[in-house]
A and B are shown apart, each in its own frame.
Chain A
């Protein structure tokens, strides 16, 4: 069986490489002198310069960052509180509410965008940052809720018992034991939500106002109409940001898996 062991490695390598080709092309051409993406005419940073001079782009970037921060943090609060509280409350229809609250990541994005559009105009929520925040929070909550819930299940209940045994009350147990142990899950949930929000096009297109642009919306319109390599530059920066987020989240994630592993010893 040993001799065949090479094929899986090659396969994994090829597929991974293919995944990076489009991204690398975008990055390479962001440094291209020429306006045309398929012709290399020399190294240049002019598109980055242009990008930073573009007021609209900058505004869209700020909008996107604010939106991602606010929605991922609100989702963190709502999701974490609920994940901690749910197992301890006795309410009728609890599991139904739990299921429905995860629907925003189960149903196709386009439907979510569409129902938000019609519903927000029904309840006369002004389209713009407010509607965007509500919509984004709705699909961030399930991520955080599910991550924290999974982590809570993974925490050996003897930790809490040991703490009580050593003199802790419920409140001490939460602050000293539960919260530190679920913190990595909350952190990686927030990072994932942040990335999701920063990336979202479909829902945003539906619920944004006339004068509110987010970065993905700007890029989307540009891709549909005409692109300048400015978009390459922007994409490269966004890729760098993603890279940073991934690194942070795997760092948290490693801590999480470590503490999960500890449980088995």
Chain B
């Protein structure tokens, strides 16, 4: 330690006045050491989070070079490109799918989270473990399961035909419906966790009080339970909507090349067309959309962190 630092934090000389200055001084030394503990995070964040994001923004305003890479030329061309009907259509298609997915996820997930919160502690724990297992199972493994189910003459076709519901294979794989099912399946746990963490905190006596005051079960649900679990539902909507814009591999695997989403478009531009500025512009737009959603969520719910995220 440097001598001047020692002189500052040394023993208080006799007769040194108030303890206020003394109290303020000591922690300073400790804080200096504490800075070291946050240093790795700062370095990592600046180097590998802020750096890439800033570069993406810059890149989105650069012009693509004729053959390879980019030229240092400022342009709005990439953003203008997005407005071309073919790309705009992809964006709208993605939004449509994301909305549909989110709606279905809410429809299936909300009651699950809500009912789960009403179970007793032992069942809550059991259900939580049962949910965690598929949730943490590789998404590819689960997707593969759907391939087995959906493929022509696969499990679903076999079942339907055995029950004489259909008499020819439906060939669901590589259709829009398969993508929707895959998306809902992948994202429903997020909704469940979000709703559950909100409903878990709910004081059920409030519902009983509402019933006692003359509300029908539905009125009690609507005026008390639903209102109080709304932050969870909203959080769940954000948590499903955002990834559903980007889960290109579900569309890729279950939809063949029939369903093209923004995610697929970005991947294509990046890996195949090698038009990085355009991919960057697409990402900026997508990121803006998601940021708006999160901001809206915060505004509406007044909660800073997304519920059920951790």
Q: What CA separation (Å) do A147 and B16 show in the bound complex? A: 44
* Binding stretch for chain A, among B43-51, B73-81, B227-235: B43-51
Among A16, A25, A90, A110, the residue within 8 A (CB) of B266 is A110
Contact at B34–A110, with CB atoms within 8 Å?
Answer: no
B59 within 8 A of A: yes
B139 A201 Cβ-Cβ under 8 A: yes
- A21 and B154 CA atoms in complex are apart in Å by 14
The 8 Å CB contact of B38, one of A85, A147, A192, is: A85
The reply to whether B280 and A118 contact each other, CB–CB distance below 8 Å, is: yes
Whether B272 is near chain A, meaning CB under 8 Å from some CB there, is no
**Quick one: which of B59, B188, B245, B294 contacts A106, CB cutoff 8 A?**
B294
> Which residues of A have CB within 8 Å of B42?
97
List chain B residues, Cβ under 8 A from A223.
140, 143-144, 147, 253
Determine the interface band of chain B, counting residues with CB < 8 A from chain A.
Answer: 35 or more
* B18 adjacent to chain A (CB < 8 Å): no
Binary contact track A70-114/B, C-beta < 8 Å → 1, others 0: 000000011101101110111100000100110111111111001
Q: A22 with B53: in contact, given A109-B243, A118-B276, A198-B138 (CB under 8 Å)?
A: no
Query: Are the C-beta atoms of B145 and A82 separated by less than 8 Å?
Result: no
User: Which of these, A16, A89, A101, A119, contacts B130 with CB under 8 Å?
Assistant: A16
Interface residues of A in 16-34 (CB under 8 A from B): 16, 19-26, 29
The reply on B108 being an interface residue by CB < 8 A is yes
Instruction: Give the contacts of B127-167 with A (CB-CB under 8 A).
Output: 127, 129-134, 136-149, 151, 153-155, 158
Q: Is the interface of A mostly helix, strand, loop or mixed?
A: helix
Which of B5-13, B84-92, B112-120 lies on the face that meets chain A?
B112-120
Residues of B within 8 A of A97 (CB): 41-42, 45
B-chain residues with CB within 8 Å of residue A137 when the two chains form the complex? 44, 48
Min CB–CB distance A91 → chain B (angstroms): 7
The answer to whether residues A29 and B290 also contact, given A201-B249, A216-B138 and a CB cut-off of 8 A, is no
Complex-state Cα separation, A245 to B133, whole angstroms = 9
User: In chain B, residues 80-116, which have Cβ atoms closer than 8 Å to a Cβ of chain A?
Assistant: 108, 111-112, 115-116
In the complex, the chain A residue whose C-beta lies closest to that of B46 is A97
Most buried by B among A110, A119, A138, A170: A110
Q: Which residues of A contact B141 (CB under 8 A)?
A: 23, 26, 219, 235, 238-239
Bound complex: CA A209 to CA B252 (Å):
21
Given contacts A78-B41, A119-B52, 13 further A-B contacts (CB under 8 A): A8-B111, A8-B119, A20-B134, A22-B149, A103-B53, A115-B283, A201-B140, A219-B144, A220-B253, A223-B147, A224-B253, A227-B147, A250-B129
